[in-house]
Amino acid sequence: MENKVLIIYTGGTIGMIENHKTGALSSVDFSKIKKSIPEINRFNFKIDTIEFENPIDSSDIDYKFWIKLAKIIEENYQKYIGFVILHGTDTMSFTGSALSFMLQNLNKAVVLTGSQLPIGMLRTDGKENLISAIEIASKTANGQSIVPEVCIYFENKLFRANRTIKYNAEYFNAFASENYPTLANIGIDIKFNYKYIHYKTGESKFNINTKLNPNVGILKIFPGITKEFVKSVLNTPNLKGLVLETFGSGNATTKKWFLDLLAKAVKNGIIIVNVTQCIAGSIRAGKYETGLGLIKAGIFNGYDITSEAAITKLMFLLGQNLSQKDIKNKFEISLTGEITKINL
């Protein structure tokens, strides 16, 4: 296969141009982005582009957007060696996580990238991010992609997408992956960390699974949280799954009303997953007495999964119409490298 790369332009800061008179930002089509980065024409392989008709701000992204992206990749999978998705940074980790579950038996690089400054600004980070993302997506060895995963490339680092969070709104190093090493570090050379890259085994063919259930939510606990607030969240109509962001290694208040509400919700069929509010570390259910109540209430252990991966994994598993037991079994293991299950 010819090393062709497909760029899917969805929108985001990278696709904005500043009006030098007013300072206002407005979205542009990809041809203007390409004009701002003439170096793209120096690659010795073909680069094609698919543009969303109306560029979308990443704050407006929902599960239907993920399905659309997955279908675009499916329709073009045999034509290209790799894919680059230009995307707004705010929800990039959510999109990357969702795609990691939806794109099954993936054997090609899908690299999401964007920028903190618009491509038309003098100090934009978008230029280097896009050029390096294209190069990574095109890299092969013996005709196979070197990084056959859904990844995020930003500021000289390549991450497994479902391990990332956006942790910085100001500086160029916007993303972090505290619980999993980088897949590559980019300087003068691209240094791939091969032992951390997932390579597909077996002969299963690439396919997409777009069955998602969006009836999920996130509840971040905090000191002084009230019974009325928790009750209102758990009584949300059609709620099927909840990511419970707890303190430290999985701790929460031991107040009886709190644990009773959670236990009742679980009994009524709501899947609740315990994840840490910290950007690094893992849930160690039962390490402290303040975590034992959650175990007794029937709450799943999220281990070191990010909230972004947890919420999209819940959407995915709930979309498969599995039993509560099967969802628990599948949630507490790694499907696409999104979780490290530790021995307690």
Identity of the amino acid at 344? L
- Asked if 113 contacts 190 with a C-beta cutoff of 8 angstroms, the reply is no
- Are residues 96 and 161 in contact, defined by beta-carbon separation less than 8 angstroms? yes
Do β-strands 190-192 and 241-246 pair in parallel, antiparallel, or remain unpaired?
unpaired
Active-site residue flag, 91: no
Catalytic residue among 13, 95, 164, 276: 13
Which amino acid does the sequence have at 230? V
Q: In this structure, which amino acid lies at residue 176? A: A
SS3 81: coil
Sign of CA dihedral 64, 67, 69, 72: negative
Taking alpha carbons only, the member of 5, 253, 252 closest to residue 108 is 5
The token pair at 229 is 């607030």
Identify the CA nearest to 139 among candidates 83, 87, 182, 100. 83
Nearest to 334 by CA among 201, 198, 214: 198
| Nearest CA among 329, 319, 308 for reference residue 92 | 308
SS3 track for 132-198? HHHHHHHCEECCEECCCCEEEEECCEEEEHHHCEECCCCCCCCEECCCCCCCEEECCCEEECHHHCC
- Cβ neighbours of residue 107 closer than 8 Å, sequence gap 6 or more: 144, 145, 148, 200, 206
- Distance between CA 226 and CA 18 in Å, rounded? 45
Residues catalogued as catalytic:
13
